[in-house]
Structure formats: structure tokens, C-alpha cells
Structure 1
């Protein structure tokens, strides 16, 4: 029986190296990760904040997604996954031409060699076009910036944010991505970061906390009361984030393979365990389950499993989920209240606790629990395994060093970028605009409701009534124009 034409290798758009299944999964995984940001975090941010900040918070995420894509294809991708320039950085260059994008995907700095120079493991070359890899990796870069934004919601000058996004992507994100994934010194040393516990979550948590320090706090009234404007929509955004994590960790092996399947299962097991653990702690200490707390527990579970999703057994994912529900809960609910620094820095959505703390926890637990046979399937350094499986303490040392590098680089780069921007535009909106919120920042409001900071013009209410009544005493009055109301 003849091979159906759809499965023949000599089609014009099907070169010998193309695996249709891998390419299909990679594009689907990229779409899932993209949906975590657009609309996932756009909806979550627009709903979890006070009503007067709904538009601004959602727009910060929307803008970051668009700006990151353009910077990524102009220079970012090759700085993170291209030819080596420095031990921690790739050579900048565009990813725009037909000749570059339709060829087989290649990460030029990833071949791993023995100390004598002979090849130990070849270059990473997935069985699909470079275009698929460029877009997939972009979605990781975009969500890192959007997660970082959670630390500065409700007061950062939108113009400063617009400048910050491209600069941080170039000078911070690409360094971590190249060092741990693209063939940098941490990649070749054997630091394990399966899908972004360090590159994405630790980086966003530390940079977000640093940015919150330099931008300054919200208004006192906003810090004291910042309740969500729509909890049901917040849960919708959280649900998109959770389910989108299938692409986040399932796409990390660059193929639809065994590791991908294990990673997806472990991801959801850990997230569910952490959510339940966090909820139980809320009930035990506060007497009732918190919906926002459940979302935070879901998040810490997803973050914690990310560095080792395809490298640990599922029973280990449950252990990681329990610890992801306990350790960040303690840091947020107990240690935060006892730390003068944590109290001083206004981290709006507690990104430091849910991403930095959970990211470090996941990285260390991966160094402890990474299973040898699963490691052999994907890791670039042969023989990698967790301390619990006879790997000794060297892997834990590597994990600590990797975390310290990401922390140090993000502290320095984020500070430098923000101080440079501050020379041209204020990092924080002025107090009179902070009193108003979205209407002052964008001239737009999230809901057709009055009373949470927006400018109130009484003539809006009487225009229709007075249109045909020139004798009405309010027709020519100046009553209540531009009055600012703060509830």
C-alpha cells in the first residue's frame, strides 16, 4: 500500500529532518505558554487589583507581551540561544530572515565536551524549524517580564515601564537564559533548571522586589486596602495560568517525548498538592480558606516543580508540592511581618514570596531529588543525579551557585536599568495621579461605575436631562467639575 501523501518526506515544506509531531507539539506548547500571559495574566492582574488600577495593571502585561516579542526577534533570541560571546552571554543578532528561520533549530553553544576536548554530547538540534524555537522561547521571556510587573502594580509610571521592558529583556533575561539553557557556563557545569525555576521565577522575583524598592510604595490607602475588584475573573486568569503550564513544562524537552509526559503530570500533581496545603494552613491559622491564598498556593506549586518537572518521580512532586505550600506560606505570613526590609518594600502581589522563594526551593529540591534515569533522558551533562540518589552534595552546591548568580545579576542589572531610566522620567506616578488611578494614567476606566478614584464630572449625569432645557439653573453652572473622589 502506498504511503499517503501527507506522510511522504519529499513534500516541499517537509525536509528530512522535520518531525511533524514534535513541531506540532512545540507550536501548541508555545501557544499554551503565550495564553498564560495573553489573556491569563492580563485577566488575573486586571482583576486581582483595586478597581481603580484594573486598566493600568492589565495594560502593563499587554504592553510587555508585545514589546518583548519585537525585541526578541531583533536581538534577544540570539543573545540567549545563539553563538557564544561570553561565558554568560550570546552574540546579538536578528532572527528575522527566511534563511535563518526555516532551517533546522540549533542552539550553537550547547555541544558539551570532555575536559580533553572530545565531544561528549552534541548540539541541541530539535526536529523542527528555528522559527518554532524562536517563538516558543519568546513566550518564556514575555511571561518573565509580566510576572515581574506584579511587584510594581498600582504606582509605576507607565512611561518608565515602557522603557524598562526592552532594557531588562536585553540586559537581564538573556544573560540568565544563555547561562543556564543556551550553552553558558552554568549549563556546561551541570546546574539543573529544567524549565525556568531560576531563569524565569527566581529572576522575576528578585528583579520585581528590586524594582519595587526603587520605584517606591503605593499610596498608604492602597497598601492598607487593595482588595480584588473581581475574584471570579481572577480565578479565570489563574485557571489559564495553571492549565497553560502544560506547555510551560511539557514543551521544555523540545520534543513530544517521554520527558514531556512526565513533566506535565508532575506539574499538575505538585500544583494541586501545594494549593491544598496552602488552603489547609489558612484554615488552621485563620479559620477559613482564602481564595486568593489558594491561587498563591497554586502558583508556588507550579513554580517549585518547574526546575525539576521532567526529572523527578511523581511521589517527589507530591513532596515538593507540600513544601511549596508550607515554605512560601511561612515566608509570606510570618517572616514577612518580622523583617524590616520586607515590610519596607512594597511588593504588590508578593512576587518575591511566590516566585523567588518558591523558585529557590524548587531548584534545591531538584538537586536533591533528580532521578538518574530521568536525568539521562535530557540533561546535557551525563551522570547528573540528585543527592538522594548517590549524587553527593556537588549537585546541591551547583544549585546554590546557580541561584546566587541569578540573584546577583538581577539585583545589579535591574538597579542599573531603573537608575538610568530615572534620569529621564520618574519611576513612580505623582501622588495626585495615584489618588485617581486608571483615569489619570490612561484616561480610561475598567467599569462603567463611579466612585473609586476617577474624576467625576457632574455634567455627565445631567447632559441628557438638560439638553432641551435652557432655563435649568445647572445648565451653565460650574458645579463639581474635575472633583476627585477617593473611596
Structure 2
């Protein structure tokens, strides 16, 4: 009788994995805390990170205008994201847009869980990405666009560009169905913002005196401070894209450190060879180049891949803000396309290379 009872108990234990799989998703407190911290870090990248970084790059007479534009567009995107952005980006829908079931976050229960985190945290995390993407574009339009025009542009661009791209890549849309790899925003954030900035810079024209005057950064310590804030915040940006505090988040974290360091050295030595001496602006720009380059790849590749991406991104970014900028003849005051566009493209291409099994990282392809 005892033997039969034991056998019955063992059989019941064998069924536990199936029972666990059938159980509803449960929020994990550690993962929720991790994702809230990551969300705060990404928000910190926009205010004050991007604001200070761009504010130091432009002329002193326009710095308050830049800080105002970044702050107000940040607030505007937050509202638009809650009203309709999240629903259209992450709701079930077609290849380009989601649905309207989550307008004003209605129909999202307080206890709704995505993976192991509450859905409200997912809303905030993805909203922080939308905020910083818009903030990046402002740098390309600096010093010659009306405040009202910026606000109109943000509404139109967020609706017709950011939201569909986010849905296509992260919301189960067209690119996701074709196997697109973008761990933390190389396509959705950086390339998307850079192309918008490039087109916008062409459309609104050049600043008065462009090509005749030297438009130098008015405050390099301000640029350095902004860079430091962006660097720290980027760990929330990349590691947080894992969605949980797991081994993939750890990998993304380490790869972010490695790629940034490699890009700083790549940019500095390239600048040294090109101009005869390194500079603080070059080191700051190299850091951003490495962060951008590793963003699409950080959770998919090994550390060796991150090192190579960092070096290549550093050199590519230097080329983007010197030779390519002259070739394009565009007035991009904060080098949005030269850094975010060029390095984002490099990072996305190299993601496909280093995420492949032959590159030594197993588990994806």
C-alpha cells in the first residue's frame, strides 16, 4: 500500500512541469524592481542627459531654447504615448500598426502581466524609448526652427514614423515576422531618429553663416556631463531590453561596457591620426558612437563581437561627422546622422554577423 502511494506521488510530481506551464503569468518582484530602475535610467537619459549634451554642443545664445525644446517634447511624447502610442505600437494588429484597444491604457488591468513584469511597467519602459528618440531629432534641427513647428513635427512623426517602426520591429509586425534583430533600438530609435533629423535638416535649410563661421560647442564641460549621464542611463536602455533581470541582461550590460570603451579608443586614435591630437569632444562622441553601435546587438552577441563593433563604430562615427558630413553638405549641429545614423547602421549590420553561430555565440542562429 505504501509503495502504491509513493508511486502515485511520484506520478503527480512528474505532472508538475505541465501544471506550471499551464499556470497564468505571475509578476516577479525582482524583475519589476529591475525594470522600474531601468525605466528611470532611460528617462534620465532624456532629461537632463540629451538636453545637456546638445545644449553644450550648440552656441550659447541658443542653449535655453534647446533645453526647453527637449523638455517640452519629452512631456508631449509622454502624453501621446499613453493616449494612443502604446496601443498602436504594441497592440495586436496588422504589419504596421496595432489596435486601439489600449487607448488611454483602458482594458489593461492593474494586475496584467507581460512576461514577469506588470504591463504598466512595460508601458513606461517603452514610452521612455519614444521620448529619447524624439529628443535625438531635436539636435539636428537646432538653432533654426520655431518652437511651434517642433511640437507639430513631434505629433506627426511619432504617429507616422516611430509608432509603425516600433510595431514592425518589437510589436510583432512586418520586420519581426521576417526575423529582424534589434535588441534595444538600433533601428527603432537611432536609425529612425537620424534619418528624420537628416531630412529635417535639409528641409529647413542651413543656419545663417553656415560654412563661413566656425560654429563651435560653447560648453564642453556641459557636453561631458551630458555624455556621462547618457552613458550611465544607457545600461538601463540596453540591459532593460532583456525584460527581466536574467543572464541576457547581464550579457547586454557587459557588452555595453566593452563596446563603449572600444569605441572611445577607436575614435580617439582615429582623430589623433586625422587631426594630430585627441580631444574631449572626440572622446565623448566616441562613447556615444559605441553605445549606439552595440544597442541592436548587445543581447545577441559575445564580448568579442561587442569589442569589434565598438572599434568599428568609433571609426565609422568619426568618418560620419567629418567626411560624410562634408559630402552631404548638411547643417546637422549635433551630428545626429553622423553618429546615430552611421553607427546605428553599422551596429545593425554587424548584429547579423556576430549573432550568427559561426561567430562563436550560440543560441540564436
Q: Same fold (TM over 0.5)?
A: yes
Paired residues in the alignment total: 340
Deviation at 1:221, TM superposition (A): 5.6
Residue 348 of structure 1 aligns to a residue in which SS? coil
Aligned to 2:178: 189
What is the CA–CA distance in structure 1 between the aligned matches of 2:224 and 2:231, rounded to whole Å?
A: 10
Deviations 1:358-415 (A, max 9, x none): 1111011000001559674xxxxxxx42xxxxxxxxxxxxxxxxxxxxxxxxxxxxxx
SS state at 1:227 partner: coil
Q: Does 1:356 align with 2:352?
A: no
Distance 1:94 1:203 in 2: 24
Residue aligning to 2:9: none
Cα separation, partners in 2 of 1:40 and 1:321, compared to 1, 3 Å: same
Partner Cα distance (1:327, 1:224) in 2? 26
CA displacement at 1:40 relative to structure 2? 0.6
Q: Which residue in 2 is equivalent to 1:318?
A: 307
Structure number, greater radius of gyration? 1
Question: Could you say what the CA RMSD is over the residues aligned between the two structures, in angstroms?
Answer: 1.8
SS at match of 1:17: coil
C-alpha contact (below 8 Å) 2:289/2:340 kept by paired residues: yes
**Equivalent residues in 2 for 1:388-399 (5 A)?**
none
Equivalent residue, structure 2, for 1:215: 204
Cα distance between partner residues in 2 of 1:257 and 1:61: 33
1:199 is matched with 188
**Gap regions ≥5 residues in structure 1:** 1-14, 106-124, 377-383, 386-487
Say if 1:158 and 1:127 are closer, same or farther in 2 by CA, change over 3 A: same
2:111 maps to: 103
CA distance in 2, matches of 1:309, 1:231: 29
Aligned residue among 50, 55, 63 for 2:64:
55
CA distance in 2, matches of 1:103, 1:96: 17
Q: How does 1:394-473 map to 2 (within 5 A)?
A: none
Q: Deviations over 1:88-116 (max 9, x none)?
A: 211235454575151324xxxxxxxxxxx
Equivalent residue runs for 1:15-414 within 5 Å:
17-84=26-93, 86-97=94-105, 100-105=108-113, 125-220=114-209, 224-337=213-326, 339=327, 342-343=328-329, 345-370=330-355, 372=357, 376=363, 384-385=364-365
Contact kept? 2:91, 2:102, Cα under 8 Å: no
- Maintained 8 Å contact 1:77/1:134: yes
TM-score w.r.t. structure 1 length? 0.67
Q: Tell me the residue number matched to 1:120.
A: none
* Cα distance in 1, alignment partners of residues 127 and 105 from structure 2: 17
- Given that residues 206 and 356 in structure 1 are in contact (C-alpha distance below 8 angstroms), is that contact kept between their aligned partners in structure 2? yes
Q: Distance in 2 between matches of 1:139 and 1:146?
A: 11
1:47-105, CA deviations, whole angstroms, 9 ceiling, x for partnerless residues? 22110010011111111110000000000001111121x21211235454575151324
Where does structure 2 lack aligned partners over 5 or more consecutive residues?
Answer: 1-23
What is the deviation of 1:158?
A: 0.9
Structure with the higher fraction of residues in helix conformation: 2
Q: Name the CA distance, whole Å, in 2 between partners of 1:165 and 1:206.
A: 14
Are the counterparts in 2 of residues 61 and 146 from structure 1 also a CA contact under 8 Å? yes
Give the TM-score of the pair, scaled to structure 2.
Answer: 0.89
Whether the 8 Å contact between 1:270 and 1:320 is mirrored in structure 2 is: yes
Q: Note if contact 1:104-1:126 (Cα within 8 Å) is conserved in structure 2.
A: no
Instruction: Give the superposition deviation at 1:18.
Output: 1.3
Alignment deviations for residues 264-314 of structure 1 (CA, whole Å, 9 cap, x no partner): 110111011101110111112211112112111111111110111011110
Change (3 A) 1:285 1:186: same
Residues 267 and 317 in structure 2, CA contact (< 8 A), matched pair in contact too: no
8 Å contact 2:140–2:201 — kept in the other structure? yes
Q: Is the 8 A contact 1:74 1:93 kept in 2?
A: no
Partner Cα separation in structure 2 for residue 140 and residue 278 of structure 1: 26
| Alignment CA distance shift 1:370-1:16 (3 Å) | closer
Aligned partners of 1:333 and 1:45: how far apart in 2?
A: 18
Q: CA deviation at 1:37?
A: 0.3
Distance 1:189 1:52, change over 3 A: same
CA apart distance, 1:242 = 0.7
